[in-house]
Structure formats: C-alpha cells, structure tokens
Amino acid sequence: MSSLSVSLIQANLAWEDKASNLRMFGEKISALGQTEIVVLPEMFSTGFSMRPEALAETMDGETVTWMKRMAATKKVIITGSLIIEEDGHYYNRLIWMLPNQQYGYYDKRHLFAYAGEHEHYAAGTRRLIASVKGWKVNLLVCYDLRFPVWARQKNTPTLSLEDEDDKEFGGPQYVGQSPETPEYDVLIYVANWPERRVHAWKTLLQARAIENQCYVVGVNRVGNDGNEIYHSGDSMVVDPMGEVLYTQSKEEFVYTATLDRKKLDEIRAKLPFLRDGDSFLIV
C-alpha cells in the first residue's frame, strides 16, 4: 500500500457566518498542492453554535453542495462537520465527501453537555470507517476524544465506506475484522476544543494513537468564538507510537502530512499489542 497525504486546515472561524467561512476555506483549498484528504474543523461553516434552529441545513443545502463542488474541482476528499437538520432533529454531522460527489457521514456520538449540546442536538449511534487507497479511516468529532471505547480497535462488525479506489462505490457495508487485521489505520478528530483544556486535547490525541496503533490527525480551530471562548488550535499529526509529527499553536495554518504505510505496518508487526486486546461489542 502507498502513502497517504492528509491536509490539515487550522483556521479562525467567522462566528455563525457561513458565507465568510465557505469563502475562506474555498480559497485555502484552492491554493493547496497535491493532496488526497482535506480536514476541516468541527462546525467549520458556523463555529460551535447552539443555535441549530437558525443555522441548520439539509443534506442538499448550501454547505454540502459547496463540499461536493470543492471535492470535485480539486479531486480530493473533504471532511469536516456542520449543522444538519433531518427528520425533525439536529445533528453535529461529519461529512466524508468524495470527488465523485458520493459521501458518507457520521453523527457525533458524545454530545458536550457542559455546553448544552445535548439540549439542541441528537446523538449518533454508529461509527463510520471510510476507505481510501487501502487505508481505513475512522472519523470522529471533538468530545468523542474523551471516550476511548468508542475509538477502540475491535474485531466485531462495523460500518465501512469504500471509495472508488478500492472498488466500484456501492454504498456503506457492514464488514468484519479479525484480531490480526486492525479495524482502521488513521483516526481523525475534527474539533472546536478550547485553549483552557488544551492539555487534555494534546494528551488524548497521543493516547488514542498509542492504544490503537494508528496515525491520529486532530484538526482544531483558532481564535475567539461568539461566546468569547479562545481556541489555540494545536492541531496535530501523531504517529502510531504516539510521537508528534507536526503541531502548531495559536496561528492559522495549512499543512500536508504524508502518512507512511511501511512505518505503520512495521510497528504493528514488531509490537503486535492489538491482538492481546479484549473483545467487546458496543450496543
């Protein structure tokens, strides 16, 4: 299997201003060189708002349409979360948008009650693991980072979204994994994680990489939100041993990391810790 290029965009979001945020991210994505996945922060079009009644879109709305257009134009996968209304409920929904305009999505499982997120949004019930170039990518959102069981490698059936590089796109499928075959290779968290708790953010990103023997990519925002809560970013790329390959605090940046498949396979072969893990099923 070949390497995988992932571009992180750490940006200062305009509070509840979709047009400004989409224009800003559009300019940054358009300026990117060669890459395969572009990762945007949590609620990248609005900031972490508790006003879904005013800001929610449907799956054929402005932001998803923008994601389709940008992914097709740049021939990249774009992922990030936004506010979606569906069947009378609001979701903090992460979209995995393919260049052919097919997509998968993950609804944030762990809602941040400390900020009242559970009072405005419905929780998701299933994980999404996407596939690109033979790499399996587990996609999660912000507060999910504090709950290691939800991210844990397991050998029970899970939802898997294959992209056209692996086979003709046929929609989500349930697949099984053996203990010898890790469920995924890359763990992505998109976030609006405040600076006041950034030590936990940095520590847990490294912990998830070590315990799951995978690369971890965490993309956070910078700047003050509409509630005057400051975010220092500290977006990060971590290798399967927990070593930080790249991070930057307080400034906006665009960075493309190349994930090394050979390194990942060598670590798993030399230190086969995953096979000694406990079997479990999340219900």
Sign of CA dihedral 280, 275, 158, 187: positive
Taking the C-alpha atoms of residue 42 and residue 86, their distance in angstroms, rounded to an integer, is 18
Residue 180: both structure tokens together: 């010898």
Catalytic residue, chosen from 142, 162, 183, 214, is: 142
CA-closest candidate to residue 71, choices 45, 27, 93, 101: 101
**Annotated catalytic residue, options 108, 136, 183, 214:** 108
Of 42, 57, 162, 183, the catalytic one is: 42
Contacts of 269 (CB under 8 A, 6+ apart): none
Catalytic (active site) residue 252: no
108 is known as an active-site residue: yes
CA distance 185 to 209: 10
- Indicate left, alpha or beta for 69 from its phi (over 0: left) and psi (-120 to 50: alpha): alpha
Active site residue 164: no
Phi, psi of 224 (to 5 degrees): -85, 140
Helix (H, G, I), strand (E, B) or coil at 56: coil
Beta-sheet strands, E only, within 73-229: 77-86, 89-97, 103-107, 129-132, 135-141, 158-161, 173-175, 186-190, 215-219, 222-224
| Residues carrying an active site annotation | 42, 108, 142
